[in-house]
Chains A and B, each alone.
Chain A
Amino acid sequence: MNGLFPGFLTLSAAMFALGALGVMVRRNPLVVFMSIELMLNAGNLALVTYARYTHTMAGQVFALIVIAVAASEVVVGLALITGVYRSGRRLDIDDLSEMRE
């Protein structure tokens, strides 16, 4: 079992990198959102791995809290995306740049 830890951590790092790449390169806000979820879950995986490694519960509890936060964040994010869509605009992140200089 202990030999698997580097594998889990590598998987977590890879998921996180993919998520970050997705956030930066994709233009559809829904996909950007999914990428963010990917990064959050990469973090969760790292947390439970370390919890197992140290034989403590703190990491697992923290992972649960991250799931709860992610769920509420999805609610807000989807509401924003729906709002943008209902105002008759294209769902393209590069179009949503009124706040620039």
Chain B
Amino acid sequence: MTSVRCASEKAMNPTFTMVLCAVALGLPTAGFLVSALSAGKLPRRVVSFLGPGVVLGAFVATLILLAELLAQPPASRGITVAFWHWLNLSVGSGGGAVARSGFNADFSVRIDSLSVLMMLVITGIGGLIHVYSVGYMAEDPGYNRFFAYMNLFITSMLLLVMSENLIFLIIGWSMVAFVSYALIAFWYQRPAAVTAGRKAFITQVIGDVGLVLGAFLIFLNLRGSGGQLLHSVDLQTIFANVGPGAHNQNGLGSMGGGLVTTIGLLLFLGAAAKSAQWPLHTWLPDAMEGPTPVSALIHAATMVTAGVYLVARFHPIYQQAPVAAGVVAAVGIGTALMAAIIGCTQFDIKRVIAYSTMSQIGLMIFAVGAGAYSAGMFQFFTHACFKALLFLAAGNVIHALGDEQDIRSMGGLSTRMKLTFGAFLVGSLALAGIPFFAGWFSKEELLSSGLALGPAVPWLWVLGVAVNVLTSFYIFRVVWMAFRGQPATSRASTAHEARPVMLIPVLLLAVLATVVGFLNIDFFGFHPITVFSEFLQPVVGTPSAHASAGIQALALVIGTLLSLGGLTLVWMVYGRRLIAADLISRHLPWLYQLSLQKFYWDEIYDVTLVRPTVALAATVTQVLEADLFDELVKGVKQGVLTLADDLRTMQTGFFRDYALIFFVCAVIGLVVLGLRLA
């Protein structure tokens, strides 16, 4: 597969592609610079067109790139465009076993089906969310700052997914973490928002360390066909020299070797932090302190799925490291189940959707860890549509109720916000995997591709189906509590529908969440290749194994019935009240508390990490700082003062003394000089 990719690099027009890439990257950058450097002086009307305009411009460029890509035969779909030579060094120890080799890092981008898919979501969904923000943020004093950050986010995320170079991938990776921090803490007067931003950033940095260490290990150990060290940071070079056929039996080429497993695990540490997977998941629910469009764009549709992208992009490494891939899959499914359980008891509408995001990304991580890259990316694609939809519809509700996020204070909104209700319902149906909505296609494909992995896998499938049932339960619980029944507050009874600028993106996303699933319509024929996976096939290949058609059909029927079962359960609990809502909390209080308190992870981290660190810092302040360093500094100060006092007596003010000192020193110097010459 690798050789096919290399042999067909010439097929696309490099200059035209380069211009399109420059437009896609340049427009949001320009939007950011203009909005940021004008220091709020730019009229809002201009920013309202500039902010969304540049992103939609980048979307158009991406669409042309997609058309260009599709015009090629599948084997030729991929091109590397080098913009400029960024760094050109000579490294190596010079002689010995290590051959001297140059280290070159270009600023280059990779255009293939995987990066174009990501770009489509980033600029397309991102553009819709920008338009929505014009309405949502209309009254905010930080309007220009908001759009500056949002445009910067689009730039950073595009850099992350387009980069052909490990270094620029890491730069983009860190930039999105910064923008995420800046936007979570956007309302910087709120202490909770600032704390949440800090928490998110610190967690991201823990992941960054893993990613960077993994990159170093690749850089130091990658060997070419002659066994020489390559010292390359070029992704295609890395992938071409990893895996079967690579000539480095002791390094990255050995199947399941310790090195490649370590690299896989380190990269996954980065992916887990970015994608809010256990054990680095606690920042995502807190991140909901940010404005709702931010939650939709960064913490649902794009940034948090960067971990999925990373694993899919580095699949040649994970194919060499079954242990690391197994860890990825296990962490993914575990996080998915845990987040789904937590989602069932939360009352903050955004937090429920946030846990749902964590859970859905867990499923994607499970898929890419299990080798079903196409299924994972398809879930990413549909999820971006329906999760952005859910967040924006929830944003409409929050906006209409004056920043109320507790679903217990809502109720009865379906009559007053009909379109928003319809959109939220479509999003929920898609999320829950109800037939013929987007999520149904992606999830059933994802779960059945997991089934194909081997004899040990059925229980993973059972866990996946359990996640689905819980998903269906918690999202329809929100639908019932927020939109059905009687208004719980006066605000809820007087709520009115959102402005068109906020409604139109929501409705467009509702259409998308309904139709994008049909890209994988071939699923019905139990045919292994579908439109979507055919598109991704040049990059990620096809899954090596498939369950038989009969098992897939059975899994499909059972999974769908259970999703519908979750919906029915909600209807019985909250609609007809056939089952008491406090059944679990009365009979299994420990389970209810576990879910309500989010499995106590925040408390666990507080006790095991935060408090020891604070205690250590206090000790250092007292012992090292006060008793050692302060005393050292004081000693130096005292020494200087004493010396100065002694030297001051030389300043007699008599000219002759100075002249004498001068002459004596001159004579001594001459004598020393004479002795040395002699």
Contacts and interface: CB of A to CB of B under 8 A. Distances in A.
Interface in A48-101: 93-94, 96-101
A91 to B, nearest CB: 13
A25 interface: yes
A24 B656 CA distance: 5
Contacts of B650: 101
Nearest to A20: B663
A27 B656 CA distance: 9
A38 interface: no
Interface size class of A (residues with CB under 8 A): 10 to 19
Contact of A100 (B651, B656, B660): B651
Contacts of B651: 99-101
A42 interface: no
Given A20-B663, A23-B659, A24-B660, A94 B654 contact: yes
B190 interface: no
A66 to B, nearest CB: 17
B648 interface: yes
B418 to A, nearest CB: 90
A32 interface: yes
Q: Which of B649, B650, B655 has the most CB of A within 10 A?
A: B655
B656 to A, nearest CB: 5
B647 to A, nearest CB: 9
Between B649, B653, B660, the greatest number of chain A beta carbons within 10 A of the residue's beta carbon is seen for B653
Contacts of A96: 655
Contacts of B544: none
Interface in B50-66: none
Contacts of B659: 20, 23-24
A47 to B, nearest CB: 17
Interface in B609-661: 648-656, 659-660
Nearest to B651: A101
A23 B655 CA distance: 9
B123 to A, nearest CB: 73
Contacts of B648: 101
A20 B660 CA distance: 9
B240 to A, nearest CB: 70
Contacts of B653: 97-101
A29 to B, nearest CB: 9
A101 B663 CA distance: 21
A101 B656 contact: no
B656 A97 contact: no
A101 B659 CA distance: 17
B652 A25 contact: no
Contacts of A25: 656
Contacts of B660: 24
Interface string B423-461: 000000000000000000000000000000000000000
B656 A93 contact: yes
A14 B663 CA distance: 15
Contacts of A100: 651-654
A78 to B, nearest CB: 17
A97 B654 CA distance: 6
Interface string B152-178: 000000000000000000000000000
B649 A32 contact: no
A71 to B, nearest CB: 22
Q: Which 4 A-B pairs have the closest CB atoms?
A: A100-B653, A97-B653, A101-B651, A101-B648
21 contacts: A20-B659, A23-B656, A23-B659, A24-B656, A24-B659, A24-B663, A25-B656, A32-B655, A93-B655, A93-B656, A94-B654, A97-B652, A97-B654, A98-B653, A99-B651, A99-B653, A100-B651, A101-B649, A101-B650, A101-B651, A101-B653
Interface of A: 20, 23-25, 32, 93-94, 96-101
Given A24-B659, A101-B651, 20 more contacts: A20-B663, A23-B656, A23-B659, A24-B656, A25-B656, A93-B654, A93-B655, A93-B656, A94-B654, A96-B655, A97-B652, A97-B655, A98-B653, A99-B653, A100-B651, A100-B652, A100-B653, A101-B649, A101-B650, A101-B652
